[in-house]
Amino acid sequence: MQPRFLIYIILLMLPVLIAGSCGKKSTSPPPPPPPPSALVMVNAKLDNNDAQTANANYNIRTQVTIRFYFNNALDRSTVSSSLSLKENGSSTVSLNIAYENSDSTIAITATAPLKYLTRYIASTGSSLKSIKGGALLTANNITLITQIDSTDKFSLLSDNALLDLVQQQTFKYFWDYGHPVSGLARERSNATPETVTSGGSGFGIMAIPIGINRGFITRAQGLARMQTIVGFLKNTAQKFHGAFPHWLNGTTGVVIPFSQKDNGADLVETSYLMAGLLTARQYFNNGDAAETTLRNDINSLWNAVEWSWFRKSNENVLYWHWSPNYGWDMNHKIQGWNECLITYILAASSTTFGIPQAVYREGFARNGAMQNGNTYYGYQLPLGSAYGGPLFFAHYSFLGINPNGLTELYANYQTQVTNHTKINYEYCKANPLGYFGYSNLCWGLTASDVPNGYNANEPNNDMGVISPTAALSSFPYTPVESMNALKFFYYKLGDRMWKQYGFVDAISLKDVWFADSFLAIDQGPIIVMIENHRSGLIWNLLTSCPEIKNGMKNVLGFTAPYL
């Protein structure tokens, strides 16, 4: 065959060879299809309102509809096992489930109304899938707090009957729960029952004349309890230069340290105790042997307190603590403005170990540095820190000292305690931090238990905790606002916070938390200050002491109608 012919044949076959080669490539398998896009929750609503996922949602209806919105239609077979609504994150709630927006939205409702004022968590689990098989990218939780039940929990009472009830129920903390050996007040209801408190016992002693006058106990019963208390303080309890420790063992009288170095004298707690004892001395004024002996024993305790010794090295200030082991190591000067005015009043009133005016002026008043003068919520505050601090500053010293018409170089004390209370009230009413539950009906910041601890609650240190003692012990200053708070606590929240010794120590509606505790230093002022509002009884008793009149007027330079 000629070469020229072979070339011709090859040229004819070349397209066939090329085509065969291309056909071989087209037989490769096609690429896999892309995976289904992930399922994503794009929104959530509680009824018609957008739900927060990072924070709790408050004031939610008990028949709320919860909607979850997704970017794709859902595979219905995966929904029921992937959704949950749990009470307090644990008890599962039975649900009705509906589908909307071509199955891209699920709407859930509880088969029965939710409980009032309760925390629930609505969740979408990771097993939820779209109709295309896409898995939920991120599990979602929505926390909701249901609304307060506005119905009354107890039958309506007259205002006077309600005040009677509150005083009587709160009195039980000191009477029924008082220590069986010493008769003193236990520190709190949820701690070692042997721990009694000297200051809280002073408040409880003030409650005894109230209990007698209101008919809760007889005079004979009150006298017998006072004999037990005074006998224990005189003969059994440890004392240090006449002063008592913060805590004592109610059976043995031995110090229970408040902290490592606070295991000796506490002059401030001693002053609360002495104020109570002097109140009882003035009340039990009959001439019979029993009441005469009681008064004499109280005088021996009162006259033994070495107030002037607590100037340490004769300084013009009183010191709070002294320890037999650590001496003055705590080095805590008693300086105002705070709850310690009564300490200086009693020290100035002592006929055995008194202090001169200079100790008060330089030590407590700091030569006027305790003054404020600024205005908050329209109320000028004569003394103290911004917004006034916790409300117990307006209570403890004034359980027995009447602030009405009381003035001296640095302040009008009626203005001080009234405006401090109104500032606290207006702060809670304005609720600048947006805490659920704060209102003109639910107000009052002071030191109390808080979730997982204890805190000096006040506008500059506000954790969202309302302490009933704050508003209720302010009755003499804000009678209308305090009565409104009392009615709200009792009628609207009474199923949660009204217990065997009155109102629990504190509540936080934002946390749906109600303390299970009662504290002597919080229950006592409720009884005493309600009584001062109603009759002035304790004010009249303590300020009738000739030593108190002399100390306030002639030593410290105070003026008041009763001095």
DSSP string covering 285-331, please?
--SSHHHHHHHHHHHHHHHH--GGGGGTTT-SS-BSEEBTTTBTTT-
* pLDDT at residue 1 is higher than 60: no
pLDDT band at 13 (very low <50, low <70, confident <90, very high): low
Angle, CA of 20, 21 and 27, to the nearest 5°: 90
pLDDT band at 20 (very low <50, low <70, confident <90, very high): very low
CA–CA distances in Å: residue 337 to residues 19, 386, 427: 102, 11, 20
CA–CA distances in Å: residue 281 to residues 16, 296, 307, 384, 518: 127, 9, 20, 32, 27
* pLDDT at residue 166 is higher than 80: yes
Nearest partner of 307 among 238, 245, 364, 243, judged by Cα? 243
The angle that helices 219-235 and 267-283 make with each other, rounded to 10 degrees, is: 140
CA pair distance 213, 168, nearest whole angstrom: 11
* Residue position matching structure tokens 């119905």: 151
For residues 250 and 125, the model is more confident at 250
pLDDT tens string 476-519: 999 999 999 999 999 999 999 999 999 999 999 999 999 999 99
CA pair distance 159, 226, nearest whole angstrom: 31
- The pTM is what? 0.92
Question: What integer is the mean pLDDT of 532-543?
Answer: 98
Question: What integer is the mean pLDDT of 24-34?
Answer: 65
Lowest mean pLDDT among 35-49, 275-289, 395-409: 35-49
Q: Which domains does the chain have, with CATH numbers?
A: 41-146 (2.60.40.1220), 159-555 (1.50.10.140)
* Phi and psi at residue 323, to the nearest 5°: -120, 140
pLDDT band at 382 (very low <50, low <70, confident <90, very high): very high
| Residue 168, burial from CB neighbour count under 10 angstroms (0-12, 13-18, 19+) | middle
CA pair distance 278, 479, nearest whole angstrom: 27
pLDDT tens string 265-306: 999 999 999 999 999 999 999 999 999 999 999 999 999 999
- pLDDT computed for residue 30 by the predictor: 74
CA pair distance 196, 252, nearest whole angstrom: 11
pLDDT tens string 120-154: 999 999 899 999 999 998 999 999 999 999 999 99
Question: What integer is the mean pLDDT of 78-90?
Answer: 93
- pLDDT computed for residue 26 by the predictor: 52
What's the whole-number average pLDDT of the chain? 94
CB-based contact 193:212 (threshold 8 Å): no
* pLDDT at residue 236 is higher than 80: yes
Question: What integer is the mean pLDDT of 443-468?
Answer: 98
- pLDDT computed for residue 112 by the predictor: 97
